[in-house]
Amino acid sequence: MLPELESERLLLRPRSLGDIDAIAGMNTDPAVMKHIAAIDDPAMSPEAVAARSFSHVERGLGYWSVFAKAKPVEFLGYVGLIPDGDAAEDVQLSYRFTVASWGQGYAREAAARLLRHGFEALALSAIAITTHPLNLASLRLAERLGFSPAPMDPTILIGYPAVIATRFRLTRETWRGLNPPAA
Ligand SMILES: CC(C)(COP(=O)(O)OP(=O)(O)OC[C@H]1O[C@@H](n2cnc3c(N)ncnc32)[C@H](O)[C@@H]1OP(=O)(O)O)[C@@H](O)C(=O)NCCC(=O)NCCS
């Protein structure tokens, strides 16, 4: 079981089957999917989303649906900590929000809360981000969260048509420096 998490304005609830339709709906929005995949990509269907949603919860990894505390029934998007390739210790941060929620700092606030969970509760040593080189919002978000550019891997592709993904990395040490414990 993944824990519920909370930030100043947001509730992060472990993904449930009840969230799948909202996620699949987001996956049919061309604006959301512009730098991720074709909207008719079978990997984005409700069945495919459901099939991969809960695969790693025993390791404490998975997805959290994000809601505003002020309006806790409206799905805003999700953040996730998911395996990054095959090495067991490698984890990446994932985020996707509905267009209606963009530009209010929700993605940054939710991702920052999940990073704290990843580095403190899960004791991860580093977290990666994989994104499209033209995804300006995602690139900016990675930078604002403290991530640094990491070497590109020509085997890691993203988008439609596919291009080599831009990679970022944040170590626990760097994160601790940016987020010192409250005095
Ligand atoms: C990436 C995404 C989650 C960002 O959501 P958001 O609501 O705009 O994020 P925030 O409001 O928290 O803003 C984060 C930062 O990105 C900046 N930003 C947002 N949109 C931007 C854009 N189009 N161009 C440049 N910067 C942008 C914000 O100004 C903010 O930076 P700041 O703190 O310096 O002002 C959202 O655009 C999204 O869901 N995109 C589709 C899914 C996606 O591409 N996910 C990433 C896949 S790897």
Report which DSSP code applies to 111: H
Q: Which tokens belong to 34?
A: 């512009």
Helix (H, G, I), strand (E, B) or coil at 167: strand
- pLDDT of res. 85: 87
- pLDDT of res. 155: 96
In the chain, % of residues over pLDDT 70: 100
- Given the CA of residue 158, which atom of ligand 1 is nearest to it? 48
Q: Ligand 1 center to residue 183 CA distance, Å?
A: 31
Read off the pTM: 0.97
Which of 120, 114, 65 lies closest to 92, judged by CA?
114
Q: Ligand 1 center to residue 89 CA distance, Å?
A: 27
The residue whose CA has the least distance to atom 33 of ligand 1 is 144
Which of 117, 122, 116 lies closest to 146, judged by CA?
116
Report which DSSP code applies to 176: H
Q: Is 13 exposed, middle or buried (0-12, 13-18, 19+ CB in 10 A)?
A: buried
List, in order of start, the domains of the chain with CATH numbers: 5-178 (3.40.630.30)
Cis bond leading into 161, ω under 30°? Answer: yes
Q: Which tokens belong to 6?
A: 């909370």
pLDDT digits (tens, 9 = 90+) for 4-55: 999 999 999 999 999 999 999 999 999 999 999 999 999 999 999 999 999 9
Q: HSE, CB side, 13 Å, CA atoms: give it for residue 113.
A: 23
Q: Which residues of the chain register pLDDT less than 70?
A: none
